[in-house]
Structure 1
Amino acid sequence: MKSFNWREKFDLPPLFWLIALIALINSISFTIIIPLLYPYAKQFGLSDLQASLLTTAFALSQFFGTPILGKLSDRLGRKYILVFSLAGTVVANLLASVAGVAWLLYVARMLDGLTGGNTSVASAVISDITTPQQRPKAFGIFGATFRLGFVIGPVLSYFAQQMPTLPGVSSLGMSFIVSAAIAAFASLLTLFFLPETTSTQGEFKLSWDDFAFGKIAKSATRPQLGNLFILTFLSGSTFTIFTFAFQPFFLNVLNQDAKGLAMMFALVGILGFVSQVFALESLSKRFNLINIIAVSLLLRGVTFLLMPTFPTYGAFVIIMVLFGIVNSFPMPLIDTVLSLNSDTKEQGEVLGINSSYLSMSNAIGPVISGLLVSLNYTTPLWITGGLTILVAGFAFNLKSRFKCNKPAVVSN
């Protein structure tokens, strides 16, 4: 039996580990507010649908902001665009922590979304500093940092709420304060330690073409890459329908409490982190990347269908274990395929457009789920399970269009 080669597993440029650390800190800042956004909205007297629209406001804003930041990072360089993005999170969360009226909370979420292109810019940095052969490994570990954030963030959110409150800040608002402080640390780390990684920099010129959102829609018809953008949107939409519906199902159908819900988030986070770090690279060496994406989507859809089929806590835990293992594969692999099939000079823009499709799906999914939940708590799970299996079939049909096992880059 072949022994596990730790040196080979983590043989990546030192600069990659810095950007991975920055991404981890940023993901912790983001996931701190996930468990509290709904109850915080309730403090403002918002209905369930209005509370779900906070997620939509963030995602729509991110949809418009991310491709601009991605393109600007190609033109101006990655470093300062990344610092700008992180600083936007700092300001937005500070504003949310002291918001006294609901509309100000919406403004804070929109500001965070408009400046929330840090993941796509960080992905472009990884493309700058790694070889095509290293990218499946690099994007897998990079994606795992976000999963690890889902383990650490909710725990920090809990402790933040136990802290003494500041004037004008509620106990839930203290989590926004902690999140802002962590994002500020990530921005300083980027400013002082991350070198510029792209050599194609130009003077700052912002034109209407930078806001050409029609190009995002047109990109769906782009040869090869357009199919991946569509796959990102379909995968993201079905997933976000689940993420909204999952919580009331767990609390009301399975009769569990918020503490148990936090444990489920931690379980999924741990399994996602482990599978991305220790399984993704090995699978990518043995199988076509599109096949891995399709199989993981198929299994994800099956888990959605199994949840309402076996509505007991014990069965739910077992199903979530399977879900946590396979759920972490699609997005980092789609980013890898995009990177391998786009020109190096446009990778920031390409990854930014892909993130915009994901943001668009994040905006649509919660609204659809909120409407379906009004029927009953199981309907969204049945529907998103069937839709996810159809998306897996769409992914399978793409495998003949991409030679993902070879490191050669194909220019469009």
Structure 2
Amino acid sequence: MVFILVSVLINVMGLGLVIPVLPKLIEHLAGSVQAGAYYNGIFIAIYAAMQFVFAPILGRLSDRYGRRPVLLAASFGTALDYLIAAVTPALWLLFVARLVAGILGASFSTANAYIADVSRPEERAKNFGLIGAVFGLGFILGPGIGGILGQIDLRLPFYFAALLSFVNGLYGWFVLPESLKLENRNLSHTSNNPFAALSILKRTPLLLGLSGSVILINLAFQILQTVWVQYTTYRFEWSILQTSLSLVLVGVTAVAVQGGLVRLIVGRLGERRSVLLGQGAGIVSFTLYGLATQGWMMYATILLGSIGNVSQPASQALISRSVSAREQGAVQGALSALVSLTGMVGPLFGGFLLGQVARAGVPTWMVGMPFFVGALLYGLGFVNTWLTFRRVPPGEAEEAPVATPVAEHA
């Protein structure tokens, strides 16, 4: 566990380093603010599209050849990608770099499969919580360091991210052990069609039901992430510092909940009730974001809604137990592909909603519409999860089926 958590932390820090400066670099290469905003939207969409296409592929490759080769290739490849972004004089070359980054970023699903490999079934919720906490820590440290380096030179965070990724590759090469035993590897022929790869999510009724909730809830999150900065600036006239502090608070609460409270909550309530608790907290927090009339209310809601972070690791634990060891990579890859699909749709929808309500003459209560829509999506996800749990008895869900060739479901 320690090996993979360190590897993920370094990887996420590298990703977080470039978040504060990438839009500025795009704007610099595009030549104007307007063109920069246009191309930034395209770059976000292409990044998500590449993750959608390649997450299932990398997941299946990790089922066939092991997790370690995929993780190592992603680390060294990402180092080269950041280096290209650091030195590129042309926008098209940065576009290629982001395309490659989307492909290699799909390897995060392999890290989830690694966690499933090395964890006993009863420990998976706790360990998925730890990897979520590491993500939160990486997104606290990465953007903070990236913002400081970016003030010195716009390209410096990319050089540092390249160095971190290279160090991560060396760490993996010399320290990270393989987690997937030879007898658990899936050697059957698999399809490279990402839509066909999603068919593994029909493997069990529990997996299919929870996949629907993944789509709905991640659509809500994509809307929130898209509108947060512009909404808080428009609604409360927040400065960049205030926005940054709010994001730091989100990361800190995620670390606290997924790194510690998950074990206590899941231990007391069980995985199913923990999933529903987290999703219910999401409904409440999104509603309160939309109703907030003062900036301090947003901070208070972040604290209140942080309990929602218990849902993801508990859900991952249930999902990982519903399939065999040979299919962990394929399932995690397919789930990542679903999240990437929401990453293509959610930002467009969220931006459209904010554009419609951030106008003169719009009633005050309607300004929070992006968050109200997010609360509705969360509510639909909650209902879907509840109905799924009613249809699938706990004993049936917790026993993985006998593995059959994945090709039959592709």
Structure 1 equivalent of residue 11 of structure 2: 26
Alignment of 1:122-137 (within 5 A): 122-137=111-126
Structure 1 equivalent of residue 286 of structure 2: 304
- Which of 338, 341, 346 matches 1:360? 341
User: Higher helix proportion, which one?
Assistant: 2
**AA aligned opposite 1:87:** F
2:138 counterpart of 1:157: no
Alignment of 1:323-338 (within 5 A): 323=305, 325-338=306-319
Give 5+ residue unaligned stretches, structure 2: 359-366, 403-410
2:212 counterpart of 1:192: no
- Which of 375, 379, 395 matches 1:385? 375
Alignment of 1:28-67 (within 5 A): 28-43=13-28, 44=30, 45=32, 46-67=35-56
Change in Cα spacing, 1:34 to 1:359, as seen in structure 2 (3 Å) is same
Q: Between 79-88 and 401-410, report the one with greater CA deviation.
A: 401-410
- 1:241-268 deviation digits (Å, cap 9, x = unpaired): 1111111011222111111111111111
- Which of 61, 82, 86 matches 1:72? 61
Q: How many residues align?
A: 388
The alpha-carbon deviation at position 204 of structure 1 amounts to: 12
Alignment of 1:95-174 (within 5 A): 95-163=84-152, 171-174=153-156
RMSD: 2.4
- 1:68-99 deviation digits (Å, cap 9, x = unpaired): 11111111111111011122222222222233
Q: Between 147-156 and 195-204, report the one with greater CA deviation.
A: 195-204
Q: Is the 8 A contact 2:11 2:165 kept in 1?
A: yes
The alpha-carbon deviation at position 130 of structure 1 amounts to: 1.7
**AA aligned opposite 1:19:** I
Give 5+ residue unaligned stretches, structure 1: 1-15, 164-170
Aligned equivalents of 2:113, 2:49: Cα separation in 1: 22
Q: Between 375-384 and 269-278, report the one with greater CA deviation.
A: 375-384
Q: TM-score, normalised by structure 1?
A: 0.87
- 1:303-349 deviation digits (Å, cap 9, x = unpaired): 222223123111121112223x2242233222211111111111111
The alpha-carbon deviation at position 145 of structure 1 amounts to: 0.3
Structure 1 equivalent of residue 408 of structure 2: none
Q: Is the 8 A contact 1:75 1:200 kept in 2?
A: no
The alpha-carbon deviation at position 399 of structure 1 amounts to: 1.7
Aligned equivalents of 1:202, 1:130: Cα separation in 2: 15
Structure 2 equivalent of residue 268 of structure 1: 250
The alpha-carbon deviation at position 111 of structure 1 amounts to: 0.5
Q: Is the 8 A contact 1:49 1:370 kept in 2?
A: no
Q: TM-score, normalised by structure 2?
A: 0.88
Q: Between 33-42 and 70-79, report the one with greater CA deviation.
A: 33-42
Aligned equivalents of 1:237, 1:162: Cα separation in 2: 33
Aligned equivalents of 2:157, 2:193: Cα separation in 1: 36
Change in Cα spacing, 1:201 to 1:62, as seen in structure 2 (3 Å) is farther
Structure 2 residue matching 1:115: 3-state secondary structure: helix
Aligned equivalents of 2:99, 2:67: Cα separation in 1: 22
Q: Between 29-38 and 230-239, report the one with greater CA deviation.
A: 29-38
2:232 counterpart of 1:250: yes
Aligned equivalents of 1:310, 1:341: Cα separation in 2: 40
Q: Is the 8 A contact 2:258 2:309 kept in 1?
A: yes
Structure 1 residue matching 2:309: 3-state secondary structure: coil
2:328 counterpart of 1:347: yes
Q: Is the 8 A contact 1:74 1:200 kept in 2?
A: no
2:212 counterpart of 1:230: yes
- 1:143-168 deviation digits (Å, cap 9, x = unpaired): 110011121111111221144xxxxx
Change in Cα spacing, 1:306 to 1:334, as seen in structure 2 (3 Å) is same
- 1:124-179 deviation digits (Å, cap 9, x = unpaired): 2222222111211111111110011121111111221144xxxxxxx222222212
Q: Between 296-305 and 351-360, report the one with greater CA deviation.
A: 296-305
Change in Cα spacing, 1:152 to 1:402, as seen in structure 2 (3 Å) is farther
The alpha-carbon deviation at position 55 of structure 1 amounts to: 1.7
Aligned equivalents of 1:195, 1:221: Cα separation in 2: 31
The alpha-carbon deviation at position 407 of structure 1 amounts to: 9.9
The alpha-carbon deviation at position 62 of structure 1 amounts to: 0.8
Aligned equivalents of 2:212, 2:115: Cα separation in 1: 23
